[in-house]
Amino acid sequence: MSLAVPDLEQAAKRLQDVYGLTIGEVLVNETQGVRLAYVELGNARIELMQPLRADSPVGKFLERNPRGGIHHFCLEVGSVDKATETISSRGAKVLGGVKAQRNVHGERIAFIHPQDFLGALVELEEHGKGGC
């Protein structure tokens, strides 16, 4: 699950103080326009994302949701190309088309439009070192 937050350090402090959770290293994904860090939970992780610029997808999300909130969730797939081809052939919209996108770990990713997944934005990520 990925949370958009207006202030990464403030969100990290809140998670530490209230829930005893610790975030990992802060990373930057210039292409996606975010600073991010992960909270590892054993069999799951929470990704915290702060926009680097107002016109990024996360920046636009925070315009509509200034306190932050769930931005998207992630599903691991064996092949982004195969998954998006299958999903597209069944009528779902892949955001950005066939243009290759990469996450902060360099793994292939794609996003499925919320209208095609019960109102939720979905990130597809190829299996790799990062993991959803």
**Rounded to the nearest 5°, which phi and psi values hold at 24?**
-85, -160
Q: Given the DSSP bridges, would you call strands 108-112 and 94-95 parallel, antiparallel or unpaired?
A: antiparallel
Mark whether 63 is an active-site residue.
no
What are the beta bridge partners of residue 4?
49, 69
Two structure tokens written together for 113: 């439009």
Q: Cα dihedral sign for 69, 74, 80, 85?
A: negative
Both tokens of residue 71? 């931005």
Pairing status of strand 108-112 against strand 101-102: antiparallel
Length of the chain, in residues: 132
Catalytic residue among 25, 30, 123, 126: 123
CA–CA separation, 126 and 61 (whole Å): 24
Catalytic residues: 123
